[in-house]
Amino acid sequence: MSETVVTIEKLVFGGSGLARTEQGVVFVSDVAPGETVAIKRCGKKGGVACGRPVEILKASPARRDPPCPLAGTCGGCDWLHIIYKEQLAIKKEIFLECMRRIGRIENLPAPETIASGEFGYRHRARMKIDVQGNAGFFARSTNRVVPVQNCPLLTGPLNTLLTSLSERNLVFPGQVKNLMLVSGDDGSVASHPVIDGHTSKSVTITAGARTFEVPANGFFQSNRPLLERLGSWARAYTGGGRCIDLYGGSGFFSVMLADQFRQGLLIESADINAAGARINFKRNRIEHFTAVKGTAEQLRELAGAEPIDCLIVDPPRSGLDGKVHTAIAALKPRTVLYVSCNPPTQARDAGFLMKNAGYTVQHAALFDLYPNTHHIESILLLTHPS
């Protein structure tokens, strides 16, 4: 197919650039806002044509040489070609557009933007080991493993392990093996499965005055430098009698905010995470919070009739389903702390709570937990007038 010259209007959620042509909108990978590029079309995504650049005819001032030799090959990063300050600005615009277009939220408070060091921040990763023993990440849009010995986003201990794995040449016949990794504060690494002589089952991680036991196959926040700020951000805005932590994981937000409340209940559907929350409550001497295994759809049943001062929700990418919407509207927590890795579903859910349950957004923040990628972590603090 012949090349097409386009101008990139903006970057959109998902990381691609949006260009308009006589044949309609095209999503273009590996570009920056304002650039003029020659592209080749390469299929469709969600019914929209996709393209990849074959020549940058007019580069953006925000473009840089990617600081990784595997950029464009490894599927782990997609914004390494954009200077970090511009990444933050783009993410803010994408977030605000989601709130306006999907949530119909026009008067959103100006979101606070919390930046991260852009390299060496990631202390959790899911590595791949192929049948030849290559350790790394999948190549973009494939199931082929790109060997990686040093990733600029990973902590030092994880990169040391990567080098060791490459030298050891682990082989899992007949399949690509997922290796879940997390590095601890003492430089140790936990993995699932455990690699004898190299890794343990869990590590210890601190955030401020709190400590956490983190198993490799449990859920925990991935950005090491921003842990304390992420967990304590809401301290200035919420507190009181009772807190419910829905989708509570291994208790990160409950532990970080426990001293703000007289009583707390964590609800988590995965056994390993609910058990981890109990361990983390115990190791931080938090006796007024309990953790139960349950689904988000059981919120009304598990919450009981007592008033809720704060409901914490940190759902998967799909956001809150209809039953959870209905439960929140009925329970009317005084505040809802909504943590999200997917602004479109967060905007949808916040819009519902504002329109149908009387909530208003009082505060918003963007935590850049994943520099050099398009991923966005955002927090909304919603309050109810009752």
Which is more confidently placed, 179 or 165? 179
State the Cα–Cα distance between residues 88 and 332, nearest whole angstrom: 34
Statement: residue 1 has pLDDT above 60 = no
Rounded to the nearest integer, the mean pLDDT of the chain is: 93
At 172, is the pLDDT very low, low, confident or very high (cuts 50, 70, 90)? low
At 171, is the pLDDT very low, low, confident or very high (cuts 50, 70, 90)? low
Helix %, strand %, coil % for the chain, to 5? 25, 35, 40
Tokens, residue 155: 């902590």
At 197, is the pLDDT very low, low, confident or very high (cuts 50, 70, 90)? confident
- Number of neighbouring beta carbons within 10 Å of residue 336: 26
User: Which distant-in-sequence residues (6+ apart) come within 8 Å of 81 by Cβ?
Assistant: 30, 32, 63, 64, 65, 66, 71
C-beta separation of 354 from 347 below 8 A: no
Percentage of residues of the chain with pLDDT beyond 70:
98
Phi, psi angles (nearest 5°) of residue 344: -60, -45
Model pTM? 0.94
User: pLDDT tens, 54-71?
Assistant: 999 999 999 999 999 999
Among 93, 97, 228, 341, the one annotated catalytic: 341
Mean pLDDT computed over 211-227: 95
Q: Is 74 a catalytic residue?
A: no
pLDDT of residue 166: 72
Burial class (CB in 10 A: 0-12, 13-18, 19+), 21: middle
Q: Is 377 a catalytic residue?
A: yes
User: pLDDT tens, 100-137?
Assistant: 999 999 889 999 999 999 999 999 999 988 888 888 89
pLDDT of residue 174: 65
Q: Which domains does the chain have, with CATH numbers?
A: 4-63 (2.40.50.140), 85-118+223-383 (3.40.50.150), 124-215 (no CATH)
Crossing angle of helices 343-357 and 322-331, in 10° steps, is 40
| DSSP conformational letter for 245 | E
- Mean pLDDT is lowest, of 166-180, 223-237, 279-293, 361-375, for 166-180
pLDDT of residue 173: 60
